[in-house]
Homo-oligomer: A and B are copies of this chain.
């Protein structure tokens, strides 16, 4: 058995090396202009490669207007859903559990009080609800931006499935995962820091099954862990790319992470199935557009890679 497993691992390494030699960039490239739809599709979407587009939403009022003061005035009284955790990790492996955040309902201005340090609260706060929360919870802000990215909608031949609003604290971290979406991630203020892995790194990225659990606020403002005993175990990535445990996950050493920082006015094209880990500066505001991916040959190949990764491992 060891022979075949080793041969499989060798195939994966050759595969990943060929990816880097043939078409992957060593750093995320910049486009200085919003692209022509066909060019963008051919150069980035079809080959499933990330890039950062500059000057793509200079005309949005959001870029100059979305200060805390403006947001308090415009949506301060709106009640939104905020992910709250004791340590900044929502939807992440903590110990032997897959920990989900407390979903606290609070007014936008109380959230800003926390983010701006005007009140002290235990826990780390992050507006990260990915259910098109911008259009669902904050429709008053839609006028400050475009409802979609025209060249992307034309390139993909469809409109986005979701438009999400992100605002959170510096300690809030999104653990490594992937999405079934073509993602355009627009930073309005502050900075987002991404660690990215191409789907071809799948064999080097560990998955385990974890018991799901949710944080609950206690009477004294602390947190308790509530196991979701009825829920199925969740496959998630235990590895932290900031401090990868190469003793437990030696295969990760063969992977090829790429880091990038997305600054105000910049838009990251994060292709479907790319693994990503995200950090941010305090109070960073961002908007992202999720376009459903195509379940075509690339997805098909990725699913094979998924099965094979399980076999080797």
Main secondary structure of the interface of A (DSSP, over half): helix
- A8–B3 CA distance with the chains assembled, in angstroms: 13
- A43–B5 CA distance with the chains assembled, in angstroms: 37
Residue of B nearest to A302 (CB): B301
What is the minimal beta-carbon distance from A203 to any residue of chain B, in angstroms? Answer: 10
By a beta-carbon cutoff of 8 Å, the part of chain A in contact with chain B is: 1, 3-5, 7-8, 11-12, 14-15, 18-19, 22-23, 37-39, 41-42, 45-48, 154-157, 199-200, 294-301, 303-305, 307-308, 311
Q: Are A299 and B22 in contact (CB under 8 A)?
A: yes
- Which single member of B38, B47, B305 contacts A296 (CB below 8 Å)? B47
- Residues of B within 8 Å of A47, CB to CB, are 294, 296-297
Q: Are B154 and A38 in contact (CB under 8 A)?
A: yes
What is the minimal beta-carbon distance from A295 to any residue of chain B, in angstroms? Answer: 5
- Which single member of B199, B303, B311 contacts A18 (CB below 8 Å)? B303
Q: Are B41 and A41 in contact (CB under 8 A)?
A: yes
Q: Are A297 and B7 in contact (CB under 8 A)?
A: no
Q: Are B14 and A307 in contact (CB under 8 A)?
A: yes
Given known contacts A1-B4, A5-B4, A300 and B200 CB-to-CB distance under 8 angstroms: yes
